[in-house]
């Protein structure tokens, strides 16, 4: 019976450890995922130099990567794009820049635009005036897109794009500790880290219990 209990605890600990590994890997991906009819129609991947290879302007690419790394801010992008400077003023990053790619043509509107619905885990009502910041690799311009819909209860955003690639969600933060601070470039909290900690803690507890059972068995042997 005791050996069976030990085996069960050890197996559970190994399972939780594997889940922790998955969450740790997931934290390196995007802070947005396709939702609704966009599932299977779009791919959202981490904003890296490799994934943003279609950005031919080196200065733009460097700025995007610097923002993602926390060494640059939205204000620095505004310096490159005077046309959207007012739209960026007072805004914070809700997500880092991610690469948005259509699968089999994506979902198109009647006028040929890409229609994308995606989930943003840390979207809350303290984030107002939600917009989508986009760099068009085809037109070589920065633009700020007003979403068709922002659903706080489902944490989903729907927006239309003329073309795709580097995308980030921005908003005015009327609360505290919810989105990225645009003055520091700190990464937004998406809940992944807290989940990871919970799973890690559970793993430690289960492993500790397994060690205790094993120790008692050895003493009585």
94 in the same domain as 39: yes
24 in the same domain as 78: no
209 in the same domain as 147: no
Cα dihedral sign for 72, 184, 70, 141? negative
pLDDT score recorded for residue 126: 97
84 in the same domain as 15: no
- The tally of CA atoms less than 13 A away on the side-chain side of residue 204 is 6
Domain assignment of residue 213, given as a range: 1-30+190-221
pLDDT score recorded for residue 102: 98
Return the H-helix or E-strand segment holding 20.
helix 2-26
82 in the same domain as 108: yes
128 in the same domain as 22: no
pLDDT score recorded for residue 29: 44
Q: What's the number of domains the chain is made of?
A: 2
Q: Indicate the SS3 state at residue 72.
A: coil
196 in the same domain as 94: no
142 in the same domain as 198: no
pLDDT score recorded for residue 2: 52
pLDDT score recorded for residue 99: 97
111 in the same domain as 9: no
Mean pLDDT by 10 residues, the chain (221 residues): 52 45 39 96 96 96 96 93 95 96 97 98 96 97 98 98 96 73 39 43 51 54 56
pLDDT score recorded for residue 20: 41
């Amino acid at each position: 019976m005791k050996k069976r209990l030990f085996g069960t605890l050890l197996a559970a600990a190994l399972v939780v450890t594997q889940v922790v590994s998955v969450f740790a890997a997931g934290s390196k991906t995007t802070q947005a995922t396709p939702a609704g009819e966009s599932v299977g129609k779009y791919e959202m991947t981490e904003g890296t130099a490799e994934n943003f290879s279609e950005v031919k302007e080196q200065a733009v690419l460097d700025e995007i990567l610097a923002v993602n790394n926390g060494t640059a801010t939205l204000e620095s992008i505004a310096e490159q794009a005077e046309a959207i400077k007012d739209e960026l003023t007072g805004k914070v990053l809700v997500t880092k820049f991610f690469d948005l790619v259509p699968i089999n043509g994506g979902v198109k509107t009647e006028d040929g635009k890409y229609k994308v619905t995606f989930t943003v885990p840390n979207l809350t009502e303290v984030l107002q005036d939600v917009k989508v910041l986009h760099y068009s690799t085809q037109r070589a311009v920065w633009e700020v897109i007003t979403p068709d819909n922002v659903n706080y209860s489902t944490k989903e955003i729907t927006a239309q794009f003329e073309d795709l690639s580097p995308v980030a969600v921005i908003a005015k933060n009327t609360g505290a500790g919810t989105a990225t601070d645009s003055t520091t470039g700190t990464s937004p909290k998406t809940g992944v880290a807290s989940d990871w900690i919970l799973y890690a803690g559970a793993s430690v507890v289960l492993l500790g219990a397994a060690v205790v059972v094993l120790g008692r068995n050895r003493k009585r042997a």
